[in-house]
Structure 1
Amino acid sequence: MQANQIFRIPDAGGNRPEGADVQETVRMAVIGVAQGSGVSFVAGLLAAWVGQAFSDESVALVELGTPYFYEAYGIEKRFLYRDFYPFHRLVAERKNIRGLANMEQGINWILRCPGDAPPGGVHEALSPGDSLRLVHNATGTVRLFDCSGMSAGLMWDILPDMDAVVCVLDPLPTRLCPYIAGIERIRIEAPRPVFVANNMNRGVHRGELRRFFRGTDWLELPHVATEDLYRAQYNCVLPYSIASVRKIVAPVLAELWDRTCGSPDALRTRGTGNGVSKKAKI
């Protein structure tokens, strides 16, 4: 009998997916350099897209930085009659998290939640060790890490353990020019980085943007109508659930997956961290 079957936190079993102890995983960090670039937005879109595109994959969306999805997605209502595991508190208390999951719509939600916060109500940043425990022990064959709001030091502690990194940038000049050094470091040092220019609209000067990237390729995620974002939060759904949003972002997400993990229609490379990879069929 495996140790993680003996020393397991008791639960009712309703949130535990079959095949919890997966061996092959893709670990992908979604990061940004400027506040408000849309890191959580892109992470949520990508999680929903992967969950729909690959029925045989189990997706984990892990918040390592600023809390967002618990309120925006109405988690409290969705788990009203089920246990919602406070993973951040569990890892801080050195509890075993293997095999535990908060499953909803095909996604394992490992989120900052009220159960994590101390009496003062302020979420404290996880230590590098606890963050890496989430990185390596979250249940899911595809693990997406929302790094919105993380300190640069903590972010660089976990990036070497990623198979790919998605850097979300707002094309507004004041959210690009002050961060040239950080973007260049990501381009050089991050594992398999892909840059995504979020909120692309007709006001963006593409020639200037090309000059800024200086030959580095990037993907363009179109502007999503503000009313659709409001509609998603009022209805406690992910923006990807709205047809008009899905129509414009799905092709970009497919290209993003192709650049980081391989073609959705063929064999894709599955990483095991630090540049080591092997092949697996979708």
Structure 2
Amino acid sequence: MTEQAFRFGRAGHLVGIAGLPSVVSAQTGIILLNAGLVHRIGPFRLHVAIARRLSARGYPTLRFDLSTLGDSAASDESLPRAQQVRADVADAMDLLGKQAGCTRFVLIGLCSGAENAHLVACSDPRVAGAIFLDGFAYRTPGFLLRHYLPKLANPVRIWRFVHRRLRPSRQVAAPDFGVVAPPLGQVRGELAEMLQRGLKLCFVYSGGTSEYFNHRRQFRECYGAVANHPGTTLEYFKAADHTYILEGDRQQLVDTIERWLLLNLPQVTAGGSA
């Protein structure tokens, strides 16, 4: 496996690192998307670890910066954000197609990267699968019970809550940089349509999502038939934080992604072997 830096895209404005296995041509390529404002290495070099493991398994990979993030410049196009993301990812697919012969792709994204992976998977026919790390989820009655009942059973927590409410606030609210999720019905329908098209979907939630996701069964509460579809996989790492700061948690995540890919989208080379 070799790693090579590329400047690419319709305006030559995108920068990425491709991991190219020794095989002449491989069918499935892996695209890793920015997590928020973190550049292409990912939080705590998570994307580097994922890309190198998968490239060693024969999957061409590309970790790159979207327009205006990291080392990538603006494209000088007046495009809405969603259209810009779709165009950037299409350029990334074109690059791996040219360099490694890939014809189908798996998108991997954390947080806002999962949002962008969802956005592209809705419309690009070359997407064969997606791994959503701490992607969309919605508070359900079950979530609220699990979240608040332990607090109600603790008098100290009740007193602190009341005390904070009664005390005048002198703090300025911090800006919220979180992902704004579309309506549940819209996302459920879009996921169902992806599965109908044959996509394989893997949803991974960490303990860092405790403010909106706190149990495996919540996934079924949110998504119903999507959760039961054979093309859907769910993993919940309650002990891990949102950015997988601990090496053991990162290792567990990389192992999980590797197993999922080998099972659901095994690599096929130009000779037709997996």
- Provide the TM-score with structure 2 as the length reference: 0.48
Higher RCO (CA 8 Å, separation ≥ 6 residues): 1
Decide which structure has the larger Cα Rg and report it: 2
Taking structure 1 as the reference length, what is the TM-score of the superposition?
0.47
